[in-house]
């Protein structure tokens, strides 16, 4: 059975969307860890005064 061409195109778009979402999630996680590190260092500096 031959798959219609639009299903292949939609699958390509789905894969592209998944990769974009995964990349956004990865950058968001790294940014969150970066912000948490800065906040914890600020809290430690305030604590040691």
Whole-number average pLDDT of the chain: 86
What's the pLDDT tens digit per position in 27-37?
999 999 999 99
Judge if pTM exceeds 0.85.
no
Mind spelling out the 3-state secondary structure of the chain?
CCCCHHHHHHHHHHHHHHHHHHHHHHHHHHHHHHHHHHHHHHHHHHHHC
> Is the pLDDT score of 38 beyond 90?
yes
Gap between the Cα atoms of 43 and 8, Å rounded: 52
């Amino acid at each position: 059975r031959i798959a219609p061409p639009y299903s292949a195109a939609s699958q390509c778009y789905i894969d592209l969307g998944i990769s974009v979402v995964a990349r956004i999630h990865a950058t968001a996680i790294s940014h969150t860890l970066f912000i948490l590190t800065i906040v914890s260092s600020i809290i430690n500096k305030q604590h040691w005064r």
